Structure 1
């Protein structure tokens, strides 16, 4: 197959960007594929072109609603029939989309991992056939999958229910450790790994040492000021470690705010104001930014230490997407390490995992239909709370012992579970906790380093340390850059 002619026919491009053709070739041939490309390098085209070429529907799992919306609009612009199934759709819109899928009139279906678990989308897609499954922003499997978005752990079970189509994992960055976890968590079979580098030569990286909360606030104000005033002429994002810090800084310095404890309408209004309103500062937790395609963000500032170099790189990657010089500042106070150590816990005891399994066995016997039962019926008969019960089920799902059955129901696959399995799952959560501790130490070393910061990132992500043709803009390499120059 001539991929170049297909590219021009369906998307109007005359040539591939670096890495795209190799990725498309592997996907067309039906191989599991991991695509590691920096922001703006064209990762999405790798699944879009191959999704058009391959038979069947392409299922795209995206972490954020805004990301799915942008990608759906891009596909429709190229006359590719696409539907989005998430919480923003009305019942009427969902039913219309279902009818289109059933009639074979849809090529791309974009949804979230939670939606796949809570509804019968899988059953609907099985009827029409899925030719390709895509996990966008695949680092979330590692970064969020065991904490904030545990439904990511159920994706292998979803894939199995769909008949094990080839799977494509897309991300801007992954260290060797994160790549291994993506492979394991998604159960990829000898995947082809396409990696094109991480350099963003227009980003000026700097770390400013702070010695107190007052000092940090003063340095933040200084970093945000333009000619001595805080009034913005260009957009900026200030990342905070907690919702409390977001609220405090937005109140003290003025600007927009975004975090998970705000009402949905407030978050949407803040995002819309940042994207389409006059230039502003957005104070946010890491809940903001993934999938935000705003090209003219001139500053990204971290007021607290990110949990890992992966998280740091993803977040600074939102700056300077138009290729113009932009500044990325980390305000580093060693006292922030204690906050990150608190977030780095999370081991699940084997006894709780066994209890969750016993609860499902009992629930199936009492309430089950076809070996499935609703979580709402299990919570009253379990000593575990609803959240702990669901988390344990998701861990068990990652080993194929239980599986999400849609509409909040869980399927019991193996009635007999040896305690050794629970011990291994406990050990896996302990190892992940230790990995987070290692990631934190690497982030501290980056903040305290006295050498080229881009060189540290290249080494961490396993990228060839070839010197860039563009002079490095990090603070240690001595470049003095005016923001927006």
Structure 2
């Protein structure tokens, strides 16, 4: 028995590896980067958890969601592995204890969000820590062709280089061949070290049985009742698109005598946690949820997953049904949805495409080439009327075009409260270090209790007195004081700093806008590809495997509606009244008046007005509290493009 087999048995209590785990772990332990493309619930996490115990230094895990971190940390704790996370829910003392454990080498695995890597104080800390392995969980987020593109993930290859991390391990459950190639290229992973185990799940029965929207609640009750009232009722997740649908449907099921709870991002954290705990413990057999539920949920005995509304993509569908039957026992996955929510899903996509004028507003703020461009994302989002996620994408595109280059991020404001008299703090140091501390205090005027650091004033004092008052040294010193309990330190307003490499002309603005429009078109095509998947003939399991490039799945699984000869036809929603019969002037008058009263009458473009009528938000609409106005979402059942074209006439 070799070393990794011994660790598998001794630490984790397993006799054998699952498919794919051994070659991934062997690659990492041998010093190579690798990628694990395994179905949901197939043991991707063990690939880094076991490997970390055979590496000399820290394993740094980047994960997109707190729920994923907490679930994996609980597993590691149960197996006696020293692991921790740094996240926004922690107190300063808790975060400091984690960082102390990492610095001493006592913590083997540290989990953080990708945003944490942009934190100036964290980067100053982690640069001093030797790291053996960077793990990227949900690694498909790095590809703009993936179903959950996160622009910040594109910075990870640069971060790996800056921190001198020798290896990377990429983990994902849902990646098409194009996305896998994109991931591999970003991290220079050899093709033979990309291990994909296939997407076929022999225990899942896939059913596409769509019904019209008004009949769907009753059909769901008829499907659930025998499964909940039998001798061994099974847990079921019902996925919906909108928060209000989750609330209404959970209430409907409850009135029918089927205990159910709603779960969505609009609930407070305590309620979400309580409802999740009740579902996990079996006290609530049915959870009606938006996609806010599921990531990182490690419940092995879910017997049913129902799509009451259309999923967002084939990848989302695969990920969501993958939460059923993780224990290997039979589970059912039912698709009830028709096309009635197609416009809602399409409109979500349209809402993230910035107007050409909005892109020009961003590029107009760039200084001359050679100068630094500093901004806070929220302010730039507000001023340009581009939502934060597409704005991050725009910044990445400007970087890829060679227009800007990221330099660093920092908190615009630092303030501290002394926990001992200033004289006592200064007296702890001698010589140049004492003069340095005196300069910090002198450049930090006090208002009542808190001192606010003025870095410009400190820079002038440093120049006058021959002191090194560089930003990195100052932040390191403040962190040291905070670690020792000498001060309480607070920071806020993350500022991004880019170097401008070349000017932006109209042609580039047009190209950037075209890239967003092309991405929008690709997302719409993905939605229609999903419809084609559900309405196609033959084995549904085989067609799903083909989407992910899995040639190993059987041609006919025998446990899907396709194999049973049930070819689906997704019902269309009732035909809405023609737009031409409506009074556009009346519908948009409340927003026009609100914009005019705020001195922004010129902002009432057809695109902004269409967003308002289709129930989509933007920073400008949020600022003007458009949700409270008559007319908001009045045309949410109509395709955004049609509404925009109608208003343009």
Per chain length, whose mean CA-contact separation is higher, i.e. which structure has more relative contact order (CA < 8 Å, sep 6+)? 1
Please give the alpha-carbon distance, in whole angstroms, between the structure 2 residues aligned to 1:260 and 1:360: 36
* Kept in 2: contact 1:62–1:111 (CA 8 A): yes
1:62-101 equivalences in 2 (<5 Å): 62-101=63-102
1:15-414 equivalences in 2 (<5 Å): 15-118=16-119, 120-142=121-143, 150-183=151-184, 186-190=186-190, 192-211=193-212, 213-226=213-226, 233-254=233-254, 255-345=260-350, 346-348=352-354, 352-353=358-359, 355-359=361-365, 361=367, 374-375=376-377, 382-384=383-385, 387=388, 389-390=391-392, 392-396=394-398, 401-402=405-406, 405=409, 407=411, 408-414=494-500
Please give the alpha-carbon distance, in whole angstroms, between the structure 2 residues aligned to 1:377 and 1:242: 28
Partner SS for 2:35: strand
Please give the alpha-carbon distance, in whole angstroms, between the structure 1 residues aligned to 2:306 and 2:497: 45
Q: Which has the greater radius of gyration?
A: 2
1:125-155, Cα deviation, whole Å (9 max, x unpaired): 1111222111112234458989785543443
Please give the alpha-carbon distance, in whole angstroms, between the structure 1 residues aligned to 2:496 and 2:209: 49
1:335-389, Cα deviation, whole Å (9 max, x unpaired): 3322222233333456645643553648x97xx7xx7654467678x44567365
Please give the alpha-carbon distance, in whole angstroms, between the structure 1 residues aligned to 2:145 and 2:290: 14
Partner SS for 1:393: helix
Please give the alpha-carbon distance, in whole angstroms, between the structure 2 residues aligned to 1:437 and 1:411: 34
Partner SS for 2:200: coil
* Kept in 1: contact 2:306–2:333 (CA 8 A): yes
Please give the alpha-carbon distance, in whole angstroms, between the structure 1 residues aligned to 2:164 and 2:363: 26
Tell me the CA shift for residue 467 of structure 1: 2.8
Range moving further from structure 2, 316-325 or 260-269: 260-269
Q: Is the counterpart of residue 461 in structure 1 residue 465 in structure 2?
A: no
Tell me the CA shift for residue 109 of structure 1: 0.5
Please give the alpha-carbon distance, in whole angstroms, between the structure 1 residues aligned to 2:30 and 2:398: 32
Please give the alpha-carbon distance, in whole angstroms, between the structure 1 residues aligned to 2:313 and 2:521: 13
Q: Is the counterpart of residue 446 in structure 1 residue 447 in structure 2?
A: no
* Kept in 1: contact 2:541–2:557 (CA 8 A): no
TM normalised by structure 2 equals 0.65
Against the structure 1 CA distance between its residues 86 and 450, is the aligned structure 2 distance closer, same or farther, given a 3 Å change threshold? Answer: same
Against the structure 1 CA distance between its residues 292 and 153, is the aligned structure 2 distance closer, same or farther, given a 3 Å change threshold? Answer: same
* Kept in 1: contact 2:313–2:526 (CA 8 A): yes
Against the structure 1 CA distance between its residues 292 and 46, is the aligned structure 2 distance closer, same or farther, given a 3 Å change threshold? Answer: same
Tell me the CA shift for residue 477 of structure 1: 2.4
Please give the alpha-carbon distance, in whole angstroms, between the structure 1 residues aligned to 2:394 and 2:242: 26
1:206-251, Cα deviation, whole Å (9 max, x unpaired): 011213x211222122222227979993211110112222122122
Paired residues, what number?
Answer: 471
Tell me the CA shift for residue 277 of structure 1: 4.6
Tell me the CA shift for residue 294 of structure 1: 0.6
Partner SS for 1:200: coil
Residue in 1 that maps onto 2:419 = none
TM normalised by structure 1 equals 0.85
Please give the alpha-carbon distance, in whole angstroms, between the structure 2 residues aligned to 1:356 and 1:146: 26
Please give the alpha-carbon distance, in whole angstroms, between the structure 1 residues aligned to 2:151 and 2:266: 18
Against the structure 1 CA distance between its residues 297 and 162, is the aligned structure 2 distance closer, same or farther, given a 3 Å change threshold? Answer: same
Tell me the CA shift for residue 267 of structure 1: 1.6
Against the structure 1 CA distance between its residues 69 and 187, is the aligned structure 2 distance closer, same or farther, given a 3 Å change threshold? Answer: same
Please give the alpha-carbon distance, in whole angstroms, between the structure 1 residues aligned to 2:400 and 2:276: 34
Tell me the CA shift for residue 414 of structure 1: 3.6
* Kept in 1: contact 2:145–2:178 (CA 8 A): no
* Kept in 2: contact 1:34–1:193 (CA 8 A): yes
Against the structure 1 CA distance between its residues 354 and 55, is the aligned structure 2 distance closer, same or farther, given a 3 Å change threshold? Answer: farther
Against the structure 1 CA distance between its residues 24 and 358, is the aligned structure 2 distance closer, same or farther, given a 3 Å change threshold? Answer: farther
Residue in 2 that maps onto 1:483 = none
1:422-476, Cα deviation, whole Å (9 max, x unpaired): 66554443343233223212211122123111111111111124538x9632123
Give the CA RMSD over aligned residues.
Answer: 3.4
Against the structure 1 CA distance between its residues 61 and 406, is the aligned structure 2 distance closer, same or farther, given a 3 Å change threshold? Answer: farther
* Kept in 2: contact 1:145–1:152 (CA 8 A): no
Please give the alpha-carbon distance, in whole angstroms, between the structure 1 residues aligned to 2:233 and 2:15: 37
Partner SS for 2:521: helix
1:183-207, Cα deviation, whole Å (9 max, x unpaired): 46x5545453101111111111101
Residue among 452, 476, 482 paired with 2:562: 476
Please give the alpha-carbon distance, in whole angstroms, between the structure 2 residues aligned to 1:479 and 1:279: 35
Give the gaps of 5 or more residues in structure 2: 255-259, 412-493, 567-649
